[in-house]
Structure 1
Amino acid sequence: MNRSGVDLSVEPRWGGAALLRPGVLAFTGSIGTTDAHAHHGVQIITATTAFTVLDEHGARHRGTKVVVPADASHQVEVGAQEGTVVFLEPESPPGRAAHLRAVHSGWTVAPVLTFTRQRALATVVDELIAHLAPEPTGDDMARHPAVVDALRLLPDLVAAGPVSGTELAARVGISASRLTHLFTEQVGIPLRRYVLWTRLRIAITRVQAGDDLTGAAHGAGFADSAHLTRTTREMFGLAPSVLSRHVSWDLDAGM
């Protein structure tokens, strides 16, 4: 056991607290092992003890800080009792910066991400994003009115079912191509990906409120629970059951 009374001989399991924003999923707690998988989110892991990530070529990346590029097959071979994991949308400025850093400098490059239970997870995420993409993406005062209107309309549209970029553009009074360009530029991720992150937020909110996965999936506009499961595995490499049963959530809608 360590000084905190944690039995280090027991393999850690996923469990802790998480924060979800459009383009960002952050987790703090115990980091468990995984099977081989790939996910679209860029994954940044920091822990108090060394852990091991095995890539598709059989190379082991061992340390207390590892960045897994987007869509790279890998598995967590040895977990950690205490750590922080941040998934970033690779189309976002901070996600793109982290992805390129890992590709060009190696997975064990040390990002600026400090784990400690005394620091709020939101603060850690804010500092990481500021380090990776220091240029501001703009707030509501700087955003085009059509983008502000789109962000206001999207939660209800997403919950109602499929979202058409053309119909949304018509509702906010500009062309679809113009809205697509402005949204990506001023929000930081493409409209289509923003919709997907919003669906995940709604689904997790409904699970936390007591819905089963089928009800949560339908309430978030997914076709069924299998669609929700495929989406969470594609984005994070984790099943929604892991995200719902073993994690307490801060569902931050801000961006």
Structure 2
Amino acid sequence: MQHRIQIDPGWLTIAAPITETDLHQHTCWQLVLGHDWQLLLDDQALTGSYVIALAPGVMHALRLSQGVVILLEQQSAVGRWLKQQSAGKSRFSLGCDPALSPDGFRRWIEQQSQTHEVAMDAQISQLLTQLDGCLVADCIKPSQWRAAQVAQQLGWSESHFLHRFKQSMGVPWRPYLKWRRLQCALLALQRGQSATEAAHAAGFSDSAHLSRTFRQQFGLTIRQALRQFL
């Protein structure tokens, strides 16, 4: 079966229909492109066939008959551009063709956000590069990523590291690391590993821990995700 999920540094793209999810929220920006999508928010239900951007931390449920969901990290150039475009709103529409392919949309939005590239803290940037290594090889064992150990490697106190990381990334270290571990688990599942194997590879205590975290982040069980887009 052709995989319909792609993970790149700062991006997670799901190109597949999605049955209605449970209520959940992300630390990332979420973009929905396609036709006949439905979003259930705290205050109302939305339907449409345009491109909608949803800010980090917004509780929602989603149903998508045909289209693409993209999750973008806040510190990326696109994430910074989306924050500016939102003008403080929790959701807004983007003026582009909802029928664009994932690659076509990526080219469009990267062109829009070119001026939002910023120089990141050099040591935080180096840390992200190390984490990105998990996307092309076996996941680095998570015991190396405890805040105290990372701070020691950087020559900082733990409190200084946590402050610098949140300042640079817009999200605290612990939820960000959880997000990156989920990406490692997704890649393991995509390679055909079991939930238990994926949990171990990504640093979750067991498959139940992975399952709970997965459902909180995506609003789907692992079994549903395997059936729909993995």
**1:231–1:22: structure 2 CA closer, same or farther, 3 Å change rule?**
farther
In the TM superposition, what whole-angstrom CA distance separates every residue of 1:184-223 from its partner, at most 9, and x where no partner exists?
A: 5566754334422331232122223332101210121001
Question: In structure 2, the residue corresponding to 1:66 is in which secondary structure?
Answer: strand
Instruction: Choose the corresponding residue for 2:65, options 61, 80, 100.
Output: 80
Question: Aligned pair 1:18/2:2, yes or no?
Answer: no
CA distance in 1, matches of 2:83, 2:117: 19
The number of equivalent residue pairs is: 224
Residue 63 (structure 1) aligned with residue 49 (structure 2) = yes
Q: Provide the C-alpha distance between the structure 1 equivalents of 2:55 and 2:127, rounded to a whole number of angstroms.
A: 33
Using the alignment, how far apart are the partners of 2:163 and 2:107 within structure 1? Answer: 25
Q: Distance in 1 between matches of 2:24 and 2:123?
A: 37
How far has the Cα of 1:86 moved from its partner?
1.0
Cα-to-partner distance string for 1:102-142 (whole Å, 9 max, x where unaligned): 6855745225575434x63xx6336435535742144xxx7
Question: What amino acid is the match of 1:131?
Answer: Q
Q: 1:88: how far off? A: 2.7
Match for residue 29 of structure 2?
42
TM (norm. structure 1) is: 0.67
Kindly indicate whether residue 126 of structure 2 is the aligned counterpart of residue 124 of structure 1: no
> What's the TM-score, normalizing by structure 2?
0.72
Counterparts of 1:19 and 1:151, CA distance in 2: 18
Give the structure 2 partner of residue 225 of structure 1. Answer: 207
Whole-angstrom CA distance in 2 between matches of 1:125 and 1:65: 13
**Paired residue secondary structure (2:7):** strand
Using the aligned pairs only, state the percent identity. Answer: 24
Q: CA separation of 1:188/1:130 partners in 2, compared to 1, >3 Å: closer, same or farther?
A: farther
Cα deviation 1:44-94 (Å, max 9, x = unaligned): 1111x33332333343342322233333333335x333x121123457664
Asked if the contact 1:43–1:67 (Cα under 8 Å) also holds between the matched residues in 2, the reply is yes
Give the SS at the match of 1:109.
strand
Q: Which residue of 1 aligns with 2:219?
A: 237
Corresponding position of 1:164: 146
Whether contact under 8 Å (1:162, 1:221) holds in the other structure is: no
Find the partner of 1:51 among 16, 37, 58: 37
Max Rg structure: 1
Q: What SS does structure 1 have at the residue aligned with 2:145? A: coil
Cα distance in 2 for residues equivalent to 1:51 and 1:186: 33
**Alignment match of 2:130 (pick from 145, 152, 156):** 152
Matched AA of 2:93: V
Decide which moves more: 190-199 or 206-215: 190-199
Secondary structure at 1:161's aligned position in 2?
Answer: helix
Q: After TM superposition, give the deviation of residue 23 of structure 1 in Å.
A: 4.2
Deviation at residue 37 of structure 1 after TM alignment = 0.7
